[in-house]
């Protein structure tokens, strides 16, 4: 396929490189002056989108997505597909989908899970919203860039699935870190704590696969000085999206709201910026009830 790829940052660049490696004709654009192996660089987003069978976007937020869509939708060929892999608010995803459909384009919102490692290794999970026809058009590309793609429903459903998943993740990571800090103060060995919880009713992905305690469980960012696998800054972004969606949908999400407030404090007022989201554990270790 002829593919336009707009947004070649930490995630987009390796995704585009994997598509080029698989034999697709990829033209890319980014605001930064960069080069990506196998990708022909364009001078503008519209130029990258012109004549493409599929245009993929990987952008920082909904406002930028809307702005880019204004530029690329008129440049795209009728019947082509716009596949947005950014994590943005549901309202922006739906607005861009409507704009694309009005122009005779197929449209998919397909945020990803798996981080930079997943992007480089082609092992991402895609959560997709859009029509069946749009999902089928994008599926062969999802197979190259990732290991799983789930068609979650109509436009905006991919973003809804992503933010609901990450709201659970943010809440469970905080609970896991709190429990380790409490176990420390009760004199319970961390390894014993892990051995019990990881095989009992308290088990979760945060505990079993991404344990925030160094030297306990499988390798995780805790074993690498909390250098980000998934940055606390990005968790805060996703939790804010979850609360924006909850506000829009009139949903009661008190735990999600509290998780957002705690990550905001951690990132903006403490030392969480640039650290992994599991670095909440050393934060709780040093705190008392006051």
**Residues contacting 57, CB < 8 A, separation 6+:** 6, 7, 65, 68, 69, 72, 82, 83, 84, 85, 86
Residue 128 backbone phi and psi in degrees, to 5: -110, 140
Residue 148 known to be catalytic: no
Distances, alpha carbon 55 to alpha carbons 25, 61, 133, 155, 183, in Å:
12, 17, 15, 17, 50
Q: How far apart are CA 92 and CA 30, in angstroms?
A: 20
Q: How far apart are CA 28 and CA 94, in angstroms?
A: 24
Read off the DSSP letter of residue 230. S
Query: Would you tell me how many other CB atoms lie within 10 Å of the CB of residue 189?
Result: 11
> Annotated catalytic residue: which of 2, 78, 162, 185?
162
Q: Which residues are catalytic?
A: 162
């Amino acid at each position: 396929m002829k593919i336009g790829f707009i947004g070649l940052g930490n995630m987009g660049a390796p995704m585009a490189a994997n598509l080029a490696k698989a034999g697709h004709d990829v033209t890319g654009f980014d605001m930064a002056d960069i080069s990506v192996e196998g990708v022909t660089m364009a001078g503008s987003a519209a130029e990258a989108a012109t004549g493409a069978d599929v245009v993929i976007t990987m952008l920082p937020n909904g406002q930028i997505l809307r702005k880019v869509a204004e530029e690329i939708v008129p440049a795209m060929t009728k019947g082509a597909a716009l596949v947005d892999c950014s994590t943005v608010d549901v309202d922006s995803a739906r607005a861009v989908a409507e704009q694309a459909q009005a122009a005779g384009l197929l449209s998919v919102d397909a945020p990803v899970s798996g981080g930079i490692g997943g992007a480089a290794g082609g092992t991402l999970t895609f959560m997709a919203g859009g029509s069946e026809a749009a999902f089928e058009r994008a599926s062969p590309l999802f197979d190259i860039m990732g290991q799983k793609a789930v068609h979650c429903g109509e436009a905006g459903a991919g973003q809804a699935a992503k933010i609901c998943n990450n709201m659970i993740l943010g809440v469970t990571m905080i609970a896991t870190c709190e429990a380790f800090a409490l176990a420390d103060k009760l004199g319970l060995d961390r390894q014993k704590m892990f051995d019990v919880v990881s095989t009992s009713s308290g088990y979760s992905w945060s505990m079993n696969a991404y344990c925030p305690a160094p030297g306990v469980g499988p390798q995780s960012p805790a074993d690498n000085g909390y250098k980000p696998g998934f940055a606390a800054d990005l968790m805060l972004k996703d939790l804010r999206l979850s609360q924006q969606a909850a506000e829009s949908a009139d949903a009661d999400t008190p735990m999600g709201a509290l998780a957002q407030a705690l990550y905001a404090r951690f990132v903006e007022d403490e030392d969480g910026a640039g650290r992994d989201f599991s670095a909440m554990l050393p934060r709780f270790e040093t705190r008392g009830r006051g």
